[in-house]
Chains A and B, each alone.
Chain A
């Protein structure tokens, strides 16, 4: 623990086939690098995120590949290296947390330190419980503390062993945003000194926005793209990722016209006469494409708008208005069905109601092409 901190990255090239009784075998085939700090692994459920973490941790054995932390190989199929999981020094917090129910918070946190002498162990445990603000719960058992506290204890238990990598499999699901942000803040604070790579798995678009770091997007066992949340999620290239990234409207369309000089195309939405202007993509007239549009990017007008910069104005009729906590979900039929998010205030001031005639306004660059 003393001495110079040398940040090392995690690099993994893994291929692993998983068979199950129903359906075709699932193939995981990925190559990724996680630098010190948080890297988000984002994708819909079933994308292979947990399988990937299991391979890195050593719970599953890849069919082939290579996993390294810094210069050290944890697994290398070509050289016959396969470090036992006890020796990998990789911390892994499951979605279920897996706190030992019969041990106190203090005993849980010191579980991974059993080689050390008692005084040293107690010191480390106190430090980590303080850092995650759960020291006052030392003598409690997991059954007696709240969800957020459990998540803090699970993080503390994993990090006290001074791991080289931290894997988090949706550890903060089920917490409200404020609590999540507080815990992530404590995690970041802990990691400023340690500088280890943290792989944070989530399928929640909100978490990606909240963490706002490097994102690796995974779909169907493959890595789709890597970059900032903006790069990866604002222009999704795959339909399944688009859905997971919160594009509520995913519409089939046919390309009518490509205007390269203007950088736009015109498309017709399937089974309707609606036409949209979209950004240019590699397509030619007659091609089938899919358009992803966020429900929050669509404007709703009660009268026909004019003199707008937005190129797409569609006439339609409200089918339903569905109230959620802070927004209202409107389903609007314009030949095809659109989902639109509006604020309760807007519904009130426009006097919107079901069966009412409305106009949808879409900016060209709110229409994303996906494959």
Chain B
């Protein structure tokens, strides 16, 4: 179960980082009038269509001892980035990017513009409007973003294999572990882990859909 715990830590780190950097980016994507916005939208959506091995390959090259990220990391911390937990987090953040940013963009965009106008007319600046109006009204989108990026990271395989390798307790996530067990014909152990992952994924998706149907909601239904 060491691998399961590792996967959880990884997924939690990735979800937290994605909310932190995804929120301002999603705000910009939702409200910017810039004509070239579609370019950034495409970049954000890239991980949806790229094979994880392609993503993992570029991540590995960048993090390697001669790659820009690897060099920077070496200079800062004195050791390499590839095949470490930090490297795994970094690659997973890129891989799960659209799963966090897109729900945020959708929920920011769906806030009634008249509410934003009303807020400004009542003297509120952009930041106050964001905290007092946009964010509270986007709670379902934020929950969706957090849960999806968590679940997507939990289930990733290709990127982890490329960037993390298979180091027990460091980079051996649950999906890698299952693959290993099957390879060595430990089908019982593989089955138990697969079942746990299935149960977790189902629970997580149920939460997302429940939130989006406003089963619970911070304000009364219309």
- Chain A interface (Cβ < 8 Å from any Cβ of B): 57, 59, 85-86, 90-92, 94, 96, 98-103, 111-112, 114-115, 141, 143-144, 157-158, 161
How distant is the Cα of A102 from the Cα of B219 in the complex, in angstroms?
5
Give the chain B neighbours of A102 by CB distance below 8 A.
136-137, 218-219
Give the chain A neighbours of B120 by CB distance below 8 A.
85-86
- Chain B interface (Cβ < 8 Å from any Cβ of A): 112, 114-115, 117-125, 128, 132-133, 136-137, 218-222
How distant is the Cα of A101 from the Cα of B112 in the complex, in angstroms?
11
B118's nearest neighbour on chain A, judged by CB, is: A98
A114-B128, A141-B220, A144-B220 known; A98 vs B115 contact (CB < 8 Å): yes
How distant is the Cα of A141 from the Cα of B220 in the complex, in angstroms?
8
How distant is the Cα of A115 from the Cα of B117 in the complex, in angstroms?
19
Query: How many whole Å from B216's CB to the nearest CB in chain A?
Result: 14
Give the chain B neighbours of A94 by CB distance below 8 A.
114, 117-118
How distant is the Cα of A96 from the Cα of B118 in the complex, in angstroms?
11
How distant is the Cα of A203 from the Cα of B136 in the complex, in angstroms?
35
A141-B220, A143-B222 known; A92 vs B124 contact (CB < 8 Å): no
Give the chain A neighbours of B218 by CB distance below 8 A.
102
Q: Is the CB of B112 within 8 A of A98?
A: yes
Q: Is the CB of B118 within 8 A of A86?
A: no
Q: Which of B112, B119, B221 is within 8 Å of A143, CB to CB? A: B221
How distant is the Cα of A158 from the Cα of B120 in the complex, in angstroms?
12
Give the chain A neighbours of B123 by CB distance below 8 A.
86, 112, 114-115, 161
Interface centre among A92, A100, A157 (most CB of B within 10 A): A100
Give the chain B neighbours of A96 by CB distance below 8 A.
112, 114
Query: How many whole Å from A167's CB to the nearest CB in chain B?
Result: 9
Query: How many whole Å from B44's CB to the nearest CB in chain A?
Result: 28
Q: Is the CB of B136 within 8 A of A85?
A: no
A86-B125, A101-B137, A102-B137 known; A143 vs B117 contact (CB < 8 Å): no
Give the chain A neighbours of B220 by CB distance below 8 A.
141, 143-144
Query: How many whole Å from A121's CB to the nearest CB in chain B?
Result: 13
Query: How many whole Å from B212's CB to the nearest CB in chain A?
Result: 17
Q: Which of A59, A91, A101, A111 is within 8 Å of B219, CB to CB? A: A101
A143-B220, A143-B221 known; A98 vs B117 contact (CB < 8 Å): yes
Query: How many whole Å from B183's CB to the nearest CB in chain A?
Result: 52
How distant is the Cα of A100 from the Cα of B121 in the complex, in angstroms?
13
How distant is the Cα of A96 from the Cα of B125 in the complex, in angstroms?
22
Q: Is the CB of B112 within 8 A of A111?
A: no
Query: How many whole Å from B124's CB to the nearest CB in chain A?
Result: 7
A101-B219, A102-B136, A115-B123 known; 6 new pairs, CB 8 Å cut-off, are: A86-B124, A100-B115, A100-B132, A112-B122, A114-B128, A144-B220
Q: Is the CB of A59 within 8 A of B136?
A: no
5 A-B pairs (CB sep. < 8 Å): A86-B120, A92-B117, A92-B118, A111-B124, A141-B220
Give the chain B neighbours of A86 by CB distance below 8 A.
120-121, 123-125
B115's nearest neighbour on chain A, judged by CB, is: A98
Q: Which of A101, A114, A144 is within 8 Å of B124, CB to CB? A: A114
A140's nearest neighbour on chain B, judged by CB, is: B220
How distant is the Cα of A138 from the Cα of B125 in the complex, in angstroms?
25
How distant is the Cα of A157 from the Cα of B220 in the complex, in angstroms?
21
How distant is the Cα of A5 from the Cα of B221 in the complex, in angstroms?
43
Q: Which 6 A-B pairs have the closest CB atoms?
A: A112-B122, A98-B118, A98-B114, A143-B220, A102-B219, A102-B136
Query: How many whole Å from A156's CB to the nearest CB in chain B?
Result: 12
Give the chain B neighbours of A161 by CB distance below 8 A.
122-123
How distant is the Cα of A161 from the Cα of B119 in the complex, in angstroms?
12
A94's nearest neighbour on chain B, judged by CB, is: B114
Q: Is the CB of A57 within 8 A of B121?
A: yes
B125's nearest neighbour on chain A, judged by CB, is: A86
A102-B137, A143-B222, A144-B220 known; A92 vs B121 contact (CB < 8 Å): yes
How distant is the Cα of A298 from the Cα of B74 in the complex, in angstroms?
93
Q: Is the CB of A91 within 8 A of B115?
A: no
Give the chain B neighbours of A98 by CB distance below 8 A.
112, 114-115, 117-118
B217's nearest neighbour on chain A, judged by CB, is: A102
Query: How many whole Å from B142's CB to the nearest CB in chain A?
Result: 13
Query: How many whole Å from A364's CB to the nearest CB in chain B?
Result: 48
Query: How many whole Å from A184's CB to the nearest CB in chain B?
Result: 21
How distant is the Cα of A158 from the Cα of B125 in the complex, in angstroms?
16
Query: How many whole Å from A58's CB to the nearest CB in chain B?
Result: 8
Give the chain B neighbours of A85 by CB distance below 8 A.
120-121
How distant is the Cα of A112 from the Cα of B122 in the complex, in angstroms?
5
B112's nearest neighbour on chain A, judged by CB, is: A98
A88's nearest neighbour on chain B, judged by CB, is: B121
A101-B137, A111-B132, A141-B220 known; A59 vs B124 contact (CB < 8 Å): no
How distant is the Cα of A102 from the Cα of B218 in the complex, in angstroms?
7
Query: How many whole Å from A252's CB to the nearest CB in chain B?
Result: 41
